[in-house]
Amino acid sequence: MQWLGLYNYWIVIFLMMAGFYVVISRSNLVKKIVGLNLFQTSVFILYISMSKVQGGTAPILKEGFAVYSNPLPHVLILTAIVVGVATTALGLALVVRIKEAYGTVEEDEIHNKDESL
């Protein structure tokens, strides 16, 4: 039953694939950004999962505790979250500009408008 013990990794893979699928299959630009976000979030969980040490506490020095979780991936992922927020913000800003320029956020309609020129 090893695979059950690795459930957090299964969650990561499920979220990753779900997000990826949304990015590929949706033609609505906002939904694509949502999918992209989901995709990135799954990686955050991957990092956080790997930092867990069994029986470890939060990495704060205190008497009576000898085993700590690894804090480095937490810090790394804080950086990655910031990057993710910046990407989402920029993506949505672009969608707003696209909406202003084309009057729609549907990929196929945008494509048609460019073709008809």
- 29 is a contact residue toward other proteins (CB under 8 A): yes
Phi then psi for 59, rounded to 5 degrees? -75, 70
Rounded to 5°, the CA angle 76-66-9 comes to 45
Residue 11 near other proteins by CB under 8 A: no
Residue 79 contacts other proteins per CB under 8 A: yes
Amino acid found at 52: K
Among 86, 106, 108, 112, binds other proteins (CB under 8 A): 86
Confirm or reject binding of residue 15 to other proteins (CB under 8 A). Answer: no
Residue 32 C-beta-side C-alpha neighbours within 13 Å:
15
Residue 73 contacts other proteins per CB under 8 A: yes
For other proteins, the binding residue among 47, 59, 68, 69 (CB under 8 A) is: 47
Burial string for 50-72 (b: 16+ CB within 10 Å, else e) reads: ebeeeeeeeeeeeeeeeebbeee
Instruction: Provide the binding-site residues for other proteins, judged by CB under 8 A.
Output: 20, 23, 29, 32, 36, 39-40, 43, 46-47, 50, 72-73, 76, 79-80, 83, 86-87, 90-91, 94-95, 97-98, 101-102, 110, 114
